Amino acid sequence: MATTLTNYLIPVINEPQTFEINLAGVDYLLTCKWNDADEAGWVLDFSDITGTPIAVNIPLITGTDCLNGLGYLGIGGSLFILTNGANPLDVPTLSNLGTDSNLYFQTSITDG
């Protein structure tokens, strides 16, 4: 039997933010912020619902699962950035996160 993967849009915007979200049946606090260092960009922090960090400074880059190598955390899916336009692998900029560049959670868990 084939596994069905479903994509869910994560509601990020192009300013620093912290919000609660349920991913694959687990409640998390996500913090998304801009890192102004050279060659940096948007990063994401995962915390449990009490604010205890799980993983911090995950770079939001295109062309790969942003959670690659973090499977041991049991988050239950993958995170991908997709950018609209001529090149879907363009990295999200300070001004286009949540508009032209979007963050998706992909999971096989029903109602993930």
One DSSP character per residue, the chain reads: -PPPPEEEEE---SS-EEEEEEETTEEEEEEEEEE-STT-EEEEEEEETTS-EEEEEEE--BSS-TTTT-GGG---SEEEEEE-SS-TTPPP-TTTBTTTEEEEEEESSTT-
Alpha-carbon gap, residue 76 to 86, rounded angstroms: 31
- The reply to whether 112 falls in a domain is no
Instruction: Express each pLDDT in 14-71 by its tens digit.
Output: 999 999 999 999 999 999 999 988 878 999 999 999 999 999 999 999 989 999 999 9
- The reply to whether 1 falls in a domain is no
CB-CB contact of 34 with 86 (8 Å):
no
Count of the separate structural domains present in the chain: 1
- pLDDT attached to residue 110: 76
- The reply to whether 77 falls in a domain is yes
Instruction: State which residues form the domain around 52.
Output: 6-107
CB-CB contact of 105 with 112 (8 Å):
yes
